[in-house]
């Protein structure tokens, strides 16, 4: 018999949180109230069987499989804190 574990991951107060469950019903309940991801891990080689997104649900209320996102498409670049020298010099000359 293969034993499974359930990893539940969610965000709260801008920080990631996680919990590991051996009972599927408890993991589903925790994921459901937190709109979390539930990752099913099983086997001796720790194979990930599924990743369910409890925030995205079907019309019947069942969680949908999580989708992989292209993080390069979501690239964020911080705004520069200082003006480049050419802009600073031009701004000082016109003031």
pLDDT band at 59 (very low <50, low <70, confident <90, very high): very high
Q: Which of 9-18, 20-29, 72-81 has the highest mean pLDDT?
A: 20-29
Percent of the chain past pLDDT 70, that is, above it, reads 67
**Per-domain residue ranges of the chain:** 4-66
Burial status of residue 85 (CB atoms within 10 A of its CB: 0-12, 13-18, 19 or more): exposed
DSSP annotation of 72 reads G
Is a pLDDT exceeding 60 seen at residue 72?
no
Query: Residue 22's Cα: distance from chain center in Å?
Result: 21
pLDDT in tens, 24-58: 999 999 999 998 989 998 877 777 778 888 888 88
Question: CA torsion sign, 25 to 28 to 34 to 39?
Answer: positive
């Amino acid at each position: 018999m293969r034993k499974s574990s359930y990893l539940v991951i969610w965000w709260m107060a801008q920080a990631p949180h996680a919990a590991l469950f051996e009972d599927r019903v408890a993991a589903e309940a925790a994921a459901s109230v937190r709109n979390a991801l539930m990752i099913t891990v099983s086997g001796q080689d720790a194979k990930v069987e599924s990743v369910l997104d409890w925030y995205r649900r079907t019309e019947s209320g069942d969680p949908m499989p999580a989708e992989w996102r292209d993080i390069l498409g979501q690239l964020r670049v911080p705004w520069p804190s200082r003006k480049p020298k050419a802009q600073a010099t031009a701004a000082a000359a016109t003031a």
